[in-house]
Amino acid sequence: MESTILSRIGTSVKVPSKVTPGETDTKAKCKFCHSLYAYKAGGATSHLVRHMSKCAPYLNQLAKKIAQVVLNFIAEKGDSDIPLIVTPSEYNHEETRKLIAKMIIVHEYPFRMVEHTWLNVVIRYLNPSYQFIGRKTIRSECLKVFHSEKENLMKSLRSVGVISLTCDLWTSNQNLCYMALVAHYIDKNWTMQCRVLNFAELDPPHTGNVIGQAIFDCLAEWKIEDKVISITLDNASNNDVAIRGLKAKLAARRSSCYNAKYFHVRCCAHIINLIVNDGLAPLASLTKKIRSTVKYIKKSPSRIHKFAEIAEI
């Protein structure tokens, strides 16, 4: 413990003794402010600890390191694809909790993982100062990270001139409809950016008016109604109704020079998919037989083996 405190704050040096001429005394020298303090091997170190809480150069450097620990999801990465961070000299439980929350968000881990025994064993081995975190605590921390990142994105969108949107809807296995709204824009460094603005459940009925109102509410929440120049959706009839209502709302908020002629962009991939499905429709009976044959062969390892023998002949 004594050597740890001394190495953290400074080094031991020899200085001329003020009591006995010609001899030297051992002193502790601060690495940051270079102040000298009484030090004796095996002696008390409480005065060194008190100095650490008051040393201005040390506190300034510690604050800079803590500030650099805060990660963005788009942080610069090193050679091993791990975000570059500066490890602080002292354990900070708040920053540790924030990093764990970001790990859970990025990798889609369950909240309960922070309560797993061996995860806590590993973290305690790496740093004995680590404090146990419950699943409810880490859930609230994830929400704090979400709101913090949302606020940062809102600030960055203020400097963006124009934004293009893409919107998609789909129904889950539980018959729940979800809508995702994504913004595409070029930042001040002329780099194309893509950010998810909304991912939420859409209440039935999924009419065009409901879809258009949900999109407009999202734009109003992000305060980007005046910056949207186009939106891409699937080639569906309810989306046509949604766009008509959305254009009317945006036109009412903008000047008379607002031109919505090219506002609605139909998804090219969806159109190609419709074309391919129409082209395969006459071959439906043939593809059905092929699928049934493949399903029959893959149902048993012996059938796969027999099919492989026949195919080699």
DSSP-assigned states of every residue in 22-67: T-EEEEEEETTT--EEE--TTS--HHHHHHHTT-HHHHHHHHHHHH
Among 153, 187, 210, which residue terminates a domain? 153
Last residue of a domain, one of 131, 153, 175: 153
Q: Is residue 273 part of a domain?
A: no
Specify the pTM: 0.62
Q: Are residues 166 and 261 in the same domain?
A: yes
Q: What is the mean pLDDT of the chain?
A: 82
Mark whether 110 and 188 lie in a shared domain.
no
Plot region of 29 (φ>0 → left; ψ -120 to 50 → alpha; else → beta): beta
Q: Cα–Cα distance between 313 and 311 in angstroms, integer? A: 5
pLDDT grade for 1, boundaries at 50, 70 and 90:
very low
191 and 131 within one domain: no
Kindly state whether residues 178 and 254 are assigned to the same domain. Answer: yes
Asked whether residue 114 is assigned to any structural domain, the reply reads yes
29 vs 174, residue with greater confidence:
174
Same structural domain, 173 and 111: no
Question: Quick check: is 61 in a domain?
Answer: no
Distances (CA, A) of 53 to 94, 273, 311: 19, 66, 78
What's the confidence (pLDDT) of residue 73? 45
Total of domains in the chain = 4
Q: What is the pLDDT of residues 210-260, one digit of tens each?
A: 999 999 999 999 999 888 989 999 888 888 899 988 988 888 776 555 667
Task: Name the domain boundary from 100, 130, 153.
Answer: 153
pLDDT at 72: 45
- The Cα–Cα gap between 211 and 237 comes to 12
How many helices (H) and strands (E) would you count in the chain?
A: 11, 8
Give the CA distances from residue 304 to residues 2, 158, 176, 230, in Å, rounded to whole numbers and listed in that order: 70, 60, 38, 51
Map tokens 């020298």 to a residue.
Answer: 29
- Is residue 245 in a domain? yes
Does 64 reside within a domain? no
Output DSSP code: residue 10: E
Are residues 257 and 168 part of one domain? yes
Residue pLDDT, tens place only, 280-293: 899 999 999 999 99
Residue 70 scores a pLDDT above 50? no
**94 within domain boundaries:** yes
Question: Do 95 and 16 sit in the same domain of this protein?
Answer: no
Instruction: Look at residue 139 in the predicted model and tell me its pLDDT.
Output: 95
117 vs 112: CA distance, rounded Å: 11
Per the CB < 8 A criterion, the answer to whether 209 and 239 are in contact is no
Contact criterion met (CB below 8 Å) for 212 and 245 = yes
For 199, residues 6+ apart whose C-beta sits below 8 A from its C-beta are 178, 179, 180, 181
Task: Map residue 75 onto helix, strand or coil.
Answer: coil
126-161 confidence digits (pLDDT tens): 888 899 999 999 999 999 999 999 999 999 999 898
* pLDDT one-digit tens code per residue, 150-209: 999 999 999 898 999 999 988 888 888 999 999 999 988 888 999 999 998 988 888 889
275: in domain: no
Sorted by sequence, the CB contacts under 8 Å of residue 179 that are 6+ apart come out as 167, 168, 169, 198, 199, 200, 201, 202, 211, 214, 215
Give residue 91's domain range. 70-153
Question: How much of the chain, in percent, has pLDDT values that exceed 70?
Answer: 80
In this structure, the answer to whether residues 100 and 146 fall within a common structural domain is yes
Residue 110 lies in a domain: yes
Is there a single domain that holds both residue 257 and residue 169?
yes
